[in-house]
Homo-oligomer: A and B are copies of this chain.
Amino acid sequence: MAALRLWGQEASGNCYKVKLLAAHLGIALEWVRVDVTKGETRTPAFLAMSPAGQVPLLRCADGSHLPESGAILWYLGDGTRFVPTDPLARARVLQWMFFEQYRIEPNIATSRFWIHLLNEADRYAAEIAAKREPGLAALAVMEAHLAAADFFPGGAPSLADIALYGYVPCAPEGGFALDAFPRIRAWAQRVAALSGHIAMHDPLRPPSAYVKGLP
């Protein structure tokens, strides 16, 4: 199969998820860098490919374009070891993927965007404050789940682990310290220890910042 083209930004956890899954599965991706902070996802040319102006954006084998990290993960991952075959087990993978996009990403990733990527914590102080309680609540739900499971939804690593790993380990960059979440820290280290794992290449972060899967 020819390399699939992926438009994305290195420091985006949503883009990193796709790169991480591709690394595990040996899928070749042709990376096209797009800088969200410079409006490069709002140009007419980009919007023609990605109507909501989203990265990651995948060009599929048939030449069409697929946005939404969760949909791209499912497209690349269904039929592999990262998606179970039992219908309820498959639904539980999606349960945690929707959880990630609704409760982790809008709180933790957006806080990290303002603090870490834009370096404008003061300007966005009110927005960041509003994200604090729901972000901590989402992390608490993950921590509770990990009392009885090593992965999401459990047993073996799944697409849900890939999706959650996009932003949860770098939660401290969004002001969410993980010290109070020892099971999440241990889970992140388990995911980072999987054969085939690659770290996020965040140019704003020194490579040495990642130790055992956590910044």
Contact = CB atoms under 8 A, between A and B. Distances in A.
A60 B74 contact: no
B88 A60 contact: yes
A66 interface: yes
Interface in A94-123: 94-95, 98-99, 101-103, 105-106
Contacts of A166: none
Interface stretch (A5-13, A28-36, A137-145): A137-145
A99 to B, nearest CB: 6
A62 interface: yes
Copies in the complex: 2
A37 B99 CA distance: 21
Given A51-B141, A88-B60, A102-B106, A95 B67 contact: yes
A75 interface: yes
B91 A66 contact: yes
B106 A91 contact: no
A52 B141 contact: yes
A150 interface: no
Given A52-B138, A99-B52, A101-B98, A90 B78 contact: yes
Interface string A58-70: 0010101011111
A60 B60 CA distance: 35
A125 interface: no
A71 interface: yes
B51 A71 contact: no
